[in-house]
Amino acid sequence: MARETILVVEDEAEIQELLRYNLAKEGYRVCLASSGEQALMAAQSESPQLVLLDLMLPGMDGLEVCRMLRRGRQTQSIPIVMLTAKGGEADIVAGLELGADDYVTKPFSPRVLLARIRAVLRRAADAAAEEAESECLCRHELQIHPGRHEVLVGEESVELTSTEFRVLWALARRPGWVLTRRQISEVVHGMDYPVADRSVDVQIVALRRKLLDAGRLIETVRGVGYRFKE
C-alpha cells in the first residue's frame, strides 16, 4: 500500500472531495488546500511527496503556485501534477515550462489520475536513484553513453551530431516525461537562445531517422512537445 503524502490543491469542494476520497482509498495520506496561498504553506509544513495542483484557483492561480514551489529551496523538487481544463494546451505548456511534471485534463477518470500519480512518483524515485549512477542509460534497445558520446541501437553504433545527442539525452534521461520545445531548446542552446520551434522539430526528425526503428521511442505529444517512451 502507498503511504506517500499528496497535497491536493483545488478550490471546488466537490472535486476536492472526489480527489481526497480516491487518493485516501489508495492508501495515500492526503492534505487539502483550497487556495494557492494555503498550498504554499502546506507544501512547507507537510513535506508532501507530490502536489496535485488545479490550475484554476481564485487569487493566486496554479501556474503561479507552480512557479513559487519551484523557487522554494524546500519545495523545488516535489513532483507536481497539474489538473487542467480540456483544450488548455497553452496552460499545459506554461506549467511544464515552470517545472510541473505531468498533467491530467478535466474531467478526469479517477483510475487514470491514480495511474498518472503512481507513474510520477515512480519516475521521481527512479530519477533520484539514476542520478547517482548515470554512466550509461539503457532504454529499450538503446544504450546511451554520455562520457563516450556514444549511442548504440542494439549492437549498431549510431553517429549523432552533438546537438542531436543532447536532445536524445534530455529526453531519454526521463522516460515518460514531456519536454516542451522550449525546454529542449534550453538543453541544447542554453537559456537565452531565441526559441525556434521549427529548429527543434528539425532536430527530432533527424534524430528519429538516424535511430531507425528506435526512432519510434521519441513520441510526439501534440500541441505540447516530445517525450521518450516509457
The residues that touch Ca ion, with contacts defined as CB under 5 A, are: 11-12, 54, 56
Q: 9 vs 207, which CB is nearer to Ca ion? A: 9
Q: 87 vs 154, which CB is nearer to Ca ion? A: 87
Q: How far apart are alpha carbons 220 and 201 in whole angstroms?
A: 10
Q: Give least dist CB 24 to Ca ion, A.
A: 20
Q: Give least dist CB 211 to Ca ion, A.
A: 41
Q: 100 vs 168, which CB is nearer to Ca ion? A: 100
* Beta strands 225-228; 218-221: pairing state: antiparallel
Amino acid identity for residue 185 in this structure: S
Q: Give least dist CB 10 to Ca ion, A.
A: 6
Q: Give least dist CB 145 to Ca ion, A.
A: 45
Q: How far apart are alpha carbons 93 and 99 in whole angstroms?
A: 10
Strands of the sheet containing 102-106, edge to edge, are: 29-33, 5-9, 50-54, 80-85, 102-106
- Strand-pair partners of 33: 9
Task: Judge whether 64 and 24 are in contact, CB under 8 Å.
Answer: no
Q: Give least dist CB 144 to Ca ion, A.
A: 40
Q: 2 vs 56, which CB is nearer to Ca ion? A: 56
Q: 81 vs 171, which CB is nearer to Ca ion? A: 81
Q: 12 vs 46, which CB is nearer to Ca ion? A: 12
Instruction: Cell 523557487: give the residue.
Output: 71
Q: How many CA atoms lie within 13 A of 162 on its CB side?
A: 4
Q: Give least dist CB 94 to Ca ion, A.
A: 16
Could you tell me which residues come within 8 angstroms of residue 120 by beta carbon, excluding any fewer than 6 positions away?
50, 79, 81, 101, 102
